[in-house]
Structure 1
Amino acid sequence: MAGSSYGTIFRITTWGESHGAGVGVVIDGCPAGLPLSEEDIQKYLNRRKPGQSKFTTQRKESDQAEILSGVFEGRTTGTPISILVRNQDQKSRDYSNIMNTYRPGHADYTFDAKYGFRDYRGGGRSSGRETIGRVAAGAVACKILESLGIQVMAYTKSIGPVSIPEQDYDYSVITDNTLYMPNNQYAEKASAYLEECIRSQDSSGGIIECRVDHMPAGIGETVFEKLDANLAKAIMSIGAVKGFEIGDGFQAAKASGSQNNDAFSSNSDGIYKETNHSGGVLGGMSDGSTIVLRAAIKPTPSISQPQDTVDKDGKPLSLTIHGRHDPVIVPRAVVVVESMTAITLVDMLFQNMAARMDKIAEFYSKTR
């Protein structure tokens, strides 16, 4: 299988299946000397692991990170970092009834069409557990960004019809509720809506928003390696994501140029924009303002209602899915969006180091 690696200089490769022995990631291109421990990675993994609330799957996984290589005496060595998380609570028998059946909303049919074979236990490689490797790598990327003064923060903007207006955001309460929403009152409304979904044996989608503060201007390229294009690829590579936008996004299509353009101004600190309709990116490069992106997450496809489908031979049947499934994916996907954003930013920051001859000369003149 191709396509399990992402990045150019800071490059990650995820591996493993939902019901295999484990899942993990190999990170190549991390500089030597970064303080890193399993606890640093665990903080991020704990945000996506199952069993956090009644709105997440009750699969019992500790999701404990094991660093197998690339770290010595608490610091990265510059060699590939390999991180393993062992699977502990697989219940493959829950999937025996869909061995030859195509689940609506899943990758079962497309996997068979491509390979002529699939691991039907929980979705195999296309399972959400693949994102464990992304989150582990994201923890490393976030440590790099923090050392540069760059902050990445993702949160749930909406679940189903419950959406938080920007003026009602309170970032200090994001971790106070299990839905990771920046407003506890809206989190209560969203919880009530999810209770309705559970009662009707249905599921919900939502929107995750991510903001990046203190990103320097000029990061990204102007053609195929645009910062926003690479962010779009990174976010859209997450299994449940069906839409991506940056800044005003699709709302920009309804605006006029005079409304959408961000006026420039300056003060003693330098040049800045008075508004941020662009979402922090102009011409494929960061413009120094806050980067704001959003990911639309589809409803969990595994629901307990009977659904019409067919088997491998095309025979029609009614399928009722059993097992342990999230009625909403959004809260656990928040840290995945944050991680993929951080990985992309680190990779493009590293690529940018070769953009200017004067900066290269300045760097190497200090090493003589």
Structure 2
Amino acid sequence: MNGNSFGRLFQVTTFGESHGDAMGVTVSGCPAGLELSEDDVQADLDRRKPGQSMITTSRGEPDAVSIKSGVQDGYTTGTPIGMVIENKDAQSEKYEPFVTAPRPSHGDFTYSAKFGTRNWGGGGRSSARETVNWVAAGAIATKILAEAGVELKAHVNQIGDIEAPEVSFKEIKAHSEDNEVRCAHPETAERMRERIDEYQTEGDSIGGSIYFEARGVPRGLGAPRFDSLEARLGQAMMSVPASTAFEFGLGREAREYTGKDRNDDWEFGDSEAQGPSEDSSGDEPRERGDPKPVENDHGGIQGGITTGEPIYGEVTLHAPTSIPKTQTTVDWETGEQKEAKVIGRHDPVLPPRGVPVVEAMLALTLVDFMLLSGRINPDRLDDRPGEYDTDYHPSSPRNE
């Protein structure tokens, strides 16, 4: 089974099944010199873990991470970082009715048809529990980006037909963690919570979407065609379980725009580092910087390459497929058609716990491009000389 690795220079490879002994991830390509502890990773895992509110699954997983390699004396060594998160609260017996009778809209039948077998406990490898690995790796990527001046954040902008108004990046950073829905607009968050409760009471589920944004991303990341930043970012976001759509910039609204309306005019940005523009007037000449788009309807990407403007977009997640309402399935061993009620511990909505997953995939994509472009030294993050330094003492992690 392939498809378990993501990235090129910053490569993440994951393992584990929903009801197996543990989940795990190996991160290759993290430069040496990054200060890293289990607490750094745990902070993001706690945002994704189950049982954190009444609108998440009640599965009682602590999701405690253990770093097994790649870190010494609190700093990365440049070798692969291995992390393990043990499964503590699996209840596989609830899935026995579906060993040969696929749950509606799950991967049960397709996995069995392809491989001739599958781990049926909790959905095995197809379970969204596997994203715990992505978030662990994403925490490392986010920390590297922060040292390079790149920050990112996401929030839930729609649940069902309830959509939040536009909020600023500052508001998303300040308020997305203030409520259990993870919507940065408090009034809308309350309405979303009420709507989720309605579906949960009915034994049903509901879909929604997550808005993401990254700032401080340098221009020049990406390439035309198959290595365009939006193509790689689209792969990352469409890998998120339950994702049905990925958009950046205007997204699907672009089909309603004319070329004149959508096209971003160019202007010179202000910069103290460059001389005055030729068309400046008045006593104080205006400083002319590099060209920049007047608007940012392209979501920070033009021609597959970053412009230096904020990157923003949206990921749509369908309603959770595990619901206790009566549905119909077939048993491929007995040949019988029968009712299917998926009784267990499942989320009634996915975006609230999906926020750290989307942030992780955004971070993993960007840090990979930063390394590929040389914006981040792939060998060592600190300011030690690139050549071997005879004055460097291994007992001092950063030679300070």
TM-score under structure 1 length normalisation: 0.95
Deviates more, 1:314-323 or 1:106-115: 314-323
> Unaligned 5+ residue runs, structure 2?
272-288, 376-382, 389-400
Aligned residue for 2:267?
Answer: 265
Give the drift of 1:220. 0.4
Q: Does 1:330 align with 2:351?
A: yes
Secondary structure at 1:235 match in 2: helix
User: 2-side partners of 1:168 and 1:9: how far apart?
Assistant: 32
Which position in structure 1 is the counterpart of 2:303?
283
Q: Deviation of residue 262 (structure 1)?
A: 1.2
Per the alignment, residue 391 of structure 2 pairs with none
Q: Is the 8 A contact 1:214 1:288 kept in 2?
A: yes
* Equivalent position amino acid for 1:293 in 2: G
Counterparts in 2 of 1:71 and 1:168: CA distance versus 1, 3 Å: closer
Aligned residues: 360
Q: Is the 8 A contact 2:167 2:185 kept in 1?
A: no
C-alpha distance after superposition, 1:217-274 (max 9, x if no partner): 0100112111000000011011111110110011101100111111111132333222
Matched, 1:345 2:366: yes
2:246 to 241, 244, 247: 244
Task: Name the CA distance, whole Å, in 2 between partners of 1:243 and 1:339.
Answer: 17
Which residue of structure 2 aligns with residue 43 of structure 1? 43
Identify unmatched segments of 5+ residues in structure 1.
355-362
Structure 1 residue 177 corresponds to structure 2 residue 179 = yes
- What amino acid maps onto 1:323 in structure 2? G
User: How many angstroms does 1:315 deviate by?
Assistant: 2.6
Instruction: Determine the structure 1 residue equivalent to 2:322.
Output: 302
Q: Identity percentage over the alignment? A: 41
In 2: Cα distance, 1:367 partner to 1:140 partner:
25
- Which protein is bigger by CA-based radius of gyration? 2
Per-residue CA distance 1:147-206 (angstroms, 9 max, x = gap)? 001001011111111111215883221111011101111011001101110121100110
Counterpart of 2:8 in structure 1 is 8
CA distance in 1, matches of 2:185, 2:167: 11
Deviates more, 1:306-315 or 1:334-343: 306-315
Which amino acid is 1:310 matched to?
Answer: V
**241-250 vs 163-172, which deviates more?**
163-172
Matches within 5 A, 1:66-105: 66-105=66-105
Counterpart of 1:258, as a letter, is: K
* Runs of 4+ deviating beyond 4 Å: 365-368
CA contact (8 A) 1:27 1:82 kept: yes
Q: Distance in 2 between matches of 1:16 and 1:316?
A: 32
What is residue 357 of structure 1 aligned with on the other side?
none
Q: How far apart in 1 are the matches of 2:386 and 2:115?
A: 53
Aligned-partner residue type, residue 173 of structure 1: H
Stretch of structure 1 that moved more, 87-96 or 169-178: 169-178
**In 1, are the aligned partners of 2:266 and 2:292 still within 8 Å (CA)?**
yes
**2:201 is matched with which residue?**
199
Q: Is 1:229 paired with 2:231?
A: yes
**Residue-by-residue CA offset, 1:86-105 (whole Å, 9 max, x unaligned):** 00001111111111111112
Deviations for 1:331-351, whole angstroms, at most 9, x for unmatched residues?
Answer: 111100100110010111111
Taking the aligned partners of 1:206 and 1:50, their CA distance within structure 2 comes to 18
TM-score, scaled relative to structure 2: 0.87
State how far apart, in whole Å, the 2-side matches of 1:300 and 1:267 are.
45
SS in 2 for 1:82: strand
The residue that corresponds to 2:220 in the other structure is 218
